[in-house]
Amino acid sequence: MAGQEISKDESLSLKGYRHACHVMIYADTEAKLFGKIPIKHIVLMQMRFDGFLGFPGGIVNPREESLEAGLCRELWEEIGMALKVGPEDHCSSCLALSPPDLVTHFYTKKLREEEVREVERAAVSSAADHGLEVMGMIRVPLYCLKKGEGFPSFLSNSFIDSARSQLLAALRVLGLLSQEELEAAVATAKMMRQSTAH
């Protein structure tokens, strides 16, 4: 769950807060699963060292660098290549529910499909954090197949902090999935979690 939304400027005036910046990298694609199911969009997340899914990024100290400069530095460590994320890519800033002294800033960055492939290659071959803090970049399956396979099943995973809410909000705001598709996937994921709970 996400905490209370706050403006980026207001959050930077708060005393004693830490700032975390993360980015959703995405692209359009013509690719089709099994040659027939349109994938439509590539959305990148990562499997973290702690077994949770999240977005690339990390803690930034705004007294030392801008949020965007700090995010790009974190990206260099996690994906192993320079990726420019600027203020124009800012999506939301929220007071985290836990820990209480954290602001989470979220960005979205649209690339071309070939550039996303480059990010994926660099993440494995050059990133300092690969196999350490980051176990690997992953693509989010946005389609929905029978019995909740695809996006609903993906949503049943464990996400770090507000990463799941950030994903759902970004897909809605960017129009990558419709409100109806999102609601159906969330409802199916909830049923899947209940049916597998011990």
Give the binding site for ligand L6YBMIIZ (CB under 6 A): 20, 22, 54-55, 57-59, 102, 104, 133, 160-163, 166
Output the smallest distance, CB 192 to ligand L6YBMIIZ, in A: 22
Instruction: Using the minimum distance from each CB to ligand L6YBMIIZ, give the nearer residue, 113 or 133.
Output: 133
**Beta-strand relationship, 90-95 and 18-28:** unpaired
The residue whose two tokens read 């994921």 is 189
Q: Please, what is the end-to-end C-alpha distance for the chain in angstroms?
A: 23
Output the smallest distance, CB 34 to ligand L6YBMIIZ, in A: 30
Burial 59-96 (b: 16+ CB within 10 A, else e): ebebeeeebbebbbebbbbbbbeebebeeebbbbbbbb
Output the smallest distance, CB 55 to ligand L6YBMIIZ, in A: 4
Instruction: Using the minimum distance from each CB to ligand L6YBMIIZ, give the nearer residue, 148 or 155.
Output: 155
Asked if 143 contacts 36 with a C-beta cutoff of 8 angstroms, the reply is no
Tokens of 69: 């400069």
Instruction: Using the minimum distance from each CB to ligand L6YBMIIZ, give the nearer residue, 58 or 141.
Output: 58
Instruction: Using the minimum distance from each CB to ligand L6YBMIIZ, give the nearer residue, 27 or 60.
Output: 60
Instruction: Using the minimum distance from each CB to ligand L6YBMIIZ, give the nearer residue, 104 or 108.
Output: 104
Tokens of 128: 């300092």
Which residue type occupies 2? A
Output the smallest distance, CB 31 to ligand L6YBMIIZ, in A: 25
Closest residue to ligand L6YBMIIZ: CB criterion: 58
Burial label, 194 (beta-carbon count in 10 A; 0-12, 13-18, 19+)? exposed
Output the smallest distance, CB 78 to ligand L6YBMIIZ, in A: 8
